[in-house]
Amino acid sequence: MIPARYIVHRFRIGRDKLLLFGYFIGWIVTGTVLLSLPAARRGNPVPAIDALFTATSAVCVTGLATVDTTSFTRFGQSVILLLIQAGGLGIITFATMYLFLPRTHVSVITRRFAGDYTVPGIEFRTRRLVGAILGSTILFELAGMIIAMPSVLGAGYGIFDALFHAVSAFCNAGFSTFRGGMQAFRDDVVMNLNTMILIVAGGLGFVVMQDVMKVIRKEKLHLAYHSSVVLRTTGFLLIVGWAGFLVTEWTHAYRTFPVPIRVLAALFQSVTPRTAGFDTVAQASLSSAGQLLTMFLMLIGASPASTGGGIKTTTFYLVMMVAFRFREGRDFVRDHGRKIAPSAIYKAMAIIIRAMMIISLGALTLLLAERSRGHMFNVEQAVFESISAFGTVGLSLGLTPSLGTVSKLALVAEMFIGRVGFFSMALPAVRDEIAAIDVPTAEVML
């Protein structure tokens, strides 16, 4: 019989997780208080539940909103911008600064955890990596702002709006100070391409970008396997999504558009579910097939150590490798001359199963809570909103502003879990003494 003290140690919350939760919860609480102030919104102050929802959505770089961002004052929008930047710099920045700042004690288990989030051959020195993260973020956001300025200024907006849009796009947040969001720029090719580049760059992950730059500068001959998987999977999903939306929406949502705009709208719709949340075409106008494809892309999301959410491109890739390359008699999967360890496959399957459970519970909560208020949602609508919240995407069928308090709290929980919870699951337990106890092997027929 396992002593009770082992069980206690097994489920204790370690300092690593407390600091991680504290970082994000601290920003959410601060944002909630600031957005509740009368100075944050034109007219009536934001209700507490909506301030909490907006702050969580911003810190978790989701983009779902119960209050129109354009109704906030410059002060309120500046608070949202700060929250987006704080959350959008990514979990990897927080983890790096925590693990390697001077005077911080780092345990053997924590060092092993840090190794799981690096790629061999990519430098992981504190100052250089944090500097690269901050530098690349500022570079992309400033470049995006400058490129967007002619379109933004031409539409009657200011420099702040161009900066807000660039930060929101690179951080995959989906918030917008434009009336009508990106739908007002549906026919603007430069604005669309600029936004898509920012979204994809933010969703690739800083580790991958650093690896790519090393190859470009000829400091390395080849990309790391992780970087190769991320780039190949990202490209595959973008092309498949582009073709899919052209087929499903050509005679539906895009039927009144000129042919070049149909092609552009389909490409943008393929990019934005990767946890960005902008849309040039209202999601409710998409066909059922288009909405289903959007939900699939939202679930996968961006890549590890990036500004985006979702189950991640690498998780999707591993599961596909298992589905199509697993052979009986082996306990591993072979890919591009590499052996994928069973532990990686277990992690991928655990992530997907947990994600589906959270999404299902969220959708069920929405259905029950809104039915009690007399608002009848269908299953497709509830699942769409739930996936969008969990994947920190921000796309909506237009239901979010009309949700009740219980539904809003459910989505707040999903956004937090989707952004912070899954990463915290990777943090090692305080003491893992149960793992040392050997148990018999189980045989199960499949």
Q: What is the pLDDT along the chain (446 residues), one digit of tens a residue?
A: 444 444 444 444 556 677 778 888 999 999 999 999 999 999 889 999 999 999 999 999 888 999 999 999 999 999 999 999 988 876 556 645 544 444 444 444 344 444 444 444 444 555 666 677 788 889 999 999 999 999 999 999 999 999 999 999 999 898 999 998 999 999 999 999 999 999 999 888 877 888 888 888 888 888 888 889 999 999 999 999 999 999 999 999 999 999 999 999 999 999 999 888 899 999 999 999 999 999 999 999 988 878 788 899 999 999 998 888 776 656 677 887 788 878 888 888 888 999 999 999 999 999 999 988 888 788 999 999 999 999 989 899 988 888 999 999 999 999 999 888 766 555 555 444 444 556 676 667 66
User: The pTM is what?
Assistant: 0.86
The rounded Cα 312 to chain-centroid distance in angstroms is: 8
Structure tokens at 143: 């470049």
How far, in Å, CA of 232 to CA of 224, rounded? 12
pLDDT of residue 425: 56
Exposed, middle or buried by CB within 10 Å (0-12, 13-18, 19+), for 228? middle
Alpha carbon distances (Å) from 352 to 142, 231, 346, 436: 36, 21, 10, 27
pLDDT of residue 337: 76
Structure tokens at 176: 């917008």
Q: Give residue for tokens 């009144």.
A: 256
Residues ≥6 apart with Cβ < 8 Å to 226: 119, 207, 208, 211, 304, 314
User: Which H/E stretch holds residue 136?
Assistant: helix 126-154
User: Which H/E stretch holds residue 334?
Assistant: strand 333-335
